[in-house]
Structure 1
Amino acid sequence: MTAYAIARMRAIDFGPDIVEYLRRIDATLEPYGGRFVVHGGAYRVLEGEWSGDTIVIAFPDGERAHAWYDSPVYREIIALRTDHSTADLIIVEGVGEGYRGEDALAKLLPAHEGDGGA
């Protein structure tokens, strides 16, 4: 199942270390099948509040997403980013092909409510 590393970059002190990080990050993703699907870009807030840049990196599965984040090659460059930015970062599992919003009810409702009480 596809997994995503999602970051909201709340503040970035752009300088030589961030430039170096950006030059090196792609090589850290390749061995784990990671690829950028969102890297900043224009957005429009529809509900609530949102600030900063959004970054989404897709991985073939959660295991590879976590392996990338914990890898020695990424650990070698992570301080280039974290020392010069403030961000929130998560890894989240995606859903399969054909998933529908209604599918969440199986997890949210007790078994007897989902089938009309039978």
Structure 2
Amino acid sequence: MPAYAVAHLRQVDFGPDIVAYLQRIDATLDPYGGRFVVHGGPVEVIEGGFSADLIMIEFPDRENARAWYASPEYQAILRLRTDHSTGDVFLVEGVPQGYRGVDILKKLPHATA
């Protein structure tokens, strides 16, 4: 099942270190099957408020996502981002092909699908 590394960056001090990070990150993703599916860009807010950059990187599964984040290659560039940005980063699993919204009820106690 696909997994995603998601970054919600509220502040980025765009300078030489961020440029170096961006120039090097793609090579760290390749061995783990990672690819950008969202990388900043304008957000059209239709409910609530959102004022940040959103980045999503897809991996074949959670194991590859974890291995990428822990890899020596990514850890070598991580501080280039973390020293110059503020936000949250997390891993989340996707859902299988054909998944429907009602399927979540199967996972909830006392819910009926």
Range class of TM-score, shorter chain: over 0.9
Query: Identity percentage over the alignment?
Result: 63
* 1:64 and 2:67 aligned: no
Q: What SS is found at the alignment partner of 1:18?
A: helix
For residues 23 and 83 of structure 2, the distance between their equivalents in structure 1, rounded to whole angstroms, comes to: 16
Instruction: Give runs of aligned pairs for residues 21-32 of structure 1, distance below 5 A.
Output: 21-32=21-32
- In structure 1, the partner of 2:81 is 81
Q: TM-score w.r.t. structure 2 length?
A: 0.96
- In structure 1, the partner of 2:45 is 45
For residues 62-104 of structure 1, the C-alpha deviation after alignment (integer angstroms, 9 at most, x for no partner) is: 0000000011000000000000000111100000000000100
For residues 101 and 107 of structure 1, the distance between their equivalents in structure 2, rounded to whole angstroms, comes to: 12
Q: Which runs of 5+ in 1 are unaligned?
A: none
Q: After TM superposition, where is structure 1 displaced by more than 3 Å over at least 4 residues in a row?
A: none
- In structure 1, the partner of 2:112 is 114
For residues 75 and 109 of structure 2, the distance between their equivalents in structure 1, rounded to whole angstroms, comes to: 41
For residues 42 and 49 of structure 1, the distance between their equivalents in structure 2, rounded to whole angstroms, comes to: 13
Q: What SS is found at the alignment partner of 2:49?
A: coil
Letter in 2 for 1:54: L
Letter in 1 for 2:88: D
- In structure 1, the partner of 2:3 is 3
1:52 deviation in Å?
1.1
Q: Considering only aligned residues, what root-mean-square deviation do their CA atoms show, in Å?
A: 1.1
Q: Which runs of 5+ in 2 are unaligned?
A: none
For residues 43 and 14 of structure 1, the distance between their equivalents in structure 2, rounded to whole angstroms, comes to: 19
For residues 47-72 of structure 1, the C-alpha deviation after alignment (integer angstroms, 9 at most, x for no partner) is: 22211111000000000000000110
